[in-house]
Chains A and B, each alone.
Chain A
């Protein structure tokens, strides 16, 4: 693996202008060089690498996911500084495992990498949270948990985010979930109306105590004097 300078750092004199790829074949396009680097670094933890339409997908071992993501983020040759999505896929084939998908982007090196972890059906759907590396994973993983029931271990606040927190019908994007839900319409409506529309946020979300020192001086003084926030 030869070292390459970041494409944007240091101005435009040495960096090549970005080129929109044309006529990318479905298979056989050159893989993202990060895939080879991952193989060299982690060996067997990299299960397989696929290149479809020029996009590289790396299947990794579930146990080493956080380690791999942390390396991708911290290594000066990789610099994957942006997590754009966390999602999951369930297939119709009942034997085929669920796939959890992470979309990583390296802005300094203009690279895109898709990481996947396969979770076998029947076993508990658990995978490590990447929240310690990317804080933006917080809500993405909550959505993934809400829709698929995948538990992200190490996530600080794994709750439902789209459905209300008392939702008891299951995980809507799973294949065994009926499209109209499990309860009758009247029961769904009764449960939804029983929710308090103002009880949407946890105390942590409502609290500004953690950010108190970051507030402007005048606001801190007013709050110290006993002024209330919100309602």
Chain B
């Protein structure tokens, strides 16, 4: 469960200076943000059931300030993609991500969202990081509520370390105009071929 590296914070000394006020303000703003993340649940499969269990009374996601499910992307802070994403849903997921206002984060919940999981076939996206940028990957099939909560806590750690002076983390990522993808096609092919090139295999062995 790794954190994808953000760009190095740009030095703000030259532009105005990072002084006691801005760093205090950083920690205040980050504290407020991390304790009031509003999730946009994008549940497509069994992970969504486990996500509901996480939000329900026993595990109680409200303890982390996440009890307000935002079913509109325009009022959401964190996209939780729970479940497999077929190719037909890929443009929908990307549009939802683009509709979310900055600052925004993304949790990829479960094996299928993170890597395609067992669905290594013609219909399923091999990891949503090929469509949208992902902050935290939660493994599991599906992850237990504790697993998702650990992912949420990791995301909160990440939010806590951000600087207001760093503009890079607020910049909307633009897909490459030629391919329409965020990451190079070769990288996608490499990411989504964990067992070598089986494109030429057929089920019938013909």
Contacts and interface: CB of A to CB of B under 8 A. Distances in A.
B91 A189 contact: no
B19 interface: no
B-side interface mostly: loop
B98 to A, nearest CB: 11
Contacts of B130: 185, 189
Contacts of B181: 186, 189-190, 193
A91 to B, nearest CB: 9
B206 A182 contact: no
A167 to B, nearest CB: 9
Most A Cβ at <10 Å: residue of B123, B202, B206: B123
Contacts of B14: none
B125 interface: yes
Interface residues of A, number: 28
B202 A178 contact: yes
Given A94-B206, A177-B122, A197-B92, A192 B87 contact: yes
Given A179-B202, A185-B189, A193 B120 contact: no
A194 B201 CA distance: 27
B90 A189 contact: yes
Contacts of A92: 204-206
Contact of A179 (B95, B126, B198): B198
A190 B204 contact: no
Contact of A185 (B95, B180, B192): B192
A193 B203 contact: no
B125 A197 contact: no
Interface residues of B, number: 35
B179 interface: yes
A191 to B, nearest CB: 8
B136 interface: no
A169 interface: yes
Nearest to B193: A185
A212 interface: no
A176 to B, nearest CB: 6
B186 A186 contact: yes
A223 interface: no
A175 B202 contact: yes
9 contacts: A177-B122, A177-B202, A178-B201, A185-B130, A186-B186, A188-B122, A192-B88, A192-B90, A193-B131
